[in-house]
Amino acid sequence: MNAPVAQLAVNAIAVENLRFSYGGAPIALDIPHWQVPQGSHVFLRGPSGSGKSTLLNLLSGTLAPPKNQAATQLQIFGQSLAALSNRRRDRFRAEHIGVVFQQFNLIPYLSVLDNLRLAAHFGRGGDVRDRAESLLQQLKLPLSLLSRQAQALSVGQQQRVAIARALINRPQLLLVDEPTSALDRDARDAFVDILLQSYSGVENTLIFVSHDTTLAQHFPVVADMRDLNQAWKLEAADVT
């Protein structure tokens, strides 16, 4: 009799014994174990200072992962980030990971299309205009915005363009850090709806960070930094 074919569970994120501190500062992050299966949509919450941005920056490779810690594992789709040089980590991010950070980081004097072209240049390349038009349509933005300078857009439009830029290289992992803080409640819900619609593929993994716990209802999985980050527990315990 044939053995059943094992279903391979692919982890988008696999973290073991991840400890990180900024220079000589006290340890900011200590995560013994965290795994996120591919295709998960995770809402990551936690108080100010609990390490959400630090974790996202480590996952995206924007912060260099800790080296020389034998027990530490920080893998994205099975690739250890610590095993990559800075340059290869940048390339890995451009090809596999989309990021939307609090400040959007669009280049203000470039047109929307050129912002998207620049992101595509560092990633997969290909026909940017077609892809840009289809993303703008998904994000319910007029195509006329493509030729407009990023600095001439409203904040809401900039947020959607920041999503388009993050998605231009068809990332398998999307990291979104508190992009809704300037919006009112209805606009926040609409933003999250549109983000989820634009990134709905079954293999797409999303980590969405926010203080705003009312947004958690949009996500099937909720993680809390107070559970993940042992350093935060220590810090909290120190002050009580």
**Whose Cβ is closer to ligand ATP: residue 8's or residue 237's?**
237
Q: Which is nearer to ligand ATP, 46 or 171 (CB)?
A: 46
Between the CA of residue 165 and those of 44, 95, 239, what are the distances in Å?
22, 13, 41
Contacts with ligand ATP, residue ranges (CB under 6 A): 22, 25, 28, 46, 48-54, 211
Nearer to ligand ATP, 31 or 120 (CB): 31
* 41-45/79-80 β-pairing: unpaired
Nearest to ligand ATP of 23, 220 (CB atom): 23
Give the shortest CB-173-to-ligand ATP separation in angstroms.
Answer: 18
Minimum Å gap between C-beta 54 and ligand ATP is 3
Closest approach of ligand ATP to the CB of residue 235, in Å: 7
Cα dist. 34→12, 26, 101 in Å? Answer: 11, 22, 22
Print the SS3 string covering 130-177: HHHHHHHHHCCCCHHHHHCEHHHCCHHHHHHHHHHHHHCCCCCEEEEE
The distance of closest approach from Cβ of residue 51 to ligand ATP in the complex, given in angstroms and rounded to an integer, is 4
For the bound state, the minimum distance from the C-beta of residue 50 to ligand ATP, rounded and expressed in Å, comes to 4
Is the distance from CB of 34 to CB of 207 less than 8 angstroms? no
Q: Which of 103, 113, 97, 104 minimizes the C-alpha distance to 205? A: 97
Q: Which is nearer to ligand ATP, 54 or 169 (CB)?
A: 54
Q: Which is nearer to ligand ATP, 88 or 211 (CB)?
A: 211
Closest distance to ligand ATP from the beta carbon of 58 (Å):
10
Q: Which residues contact 49 (CB under 8 A, 6 or more apart)?
A: 232, 235
Distance CA 239, CA 26 (A): 14
Locus of tokens 């040089």: 85
| Distance in angstroms (rounded) separating the CA atoms of residues 24 and 44 | 27
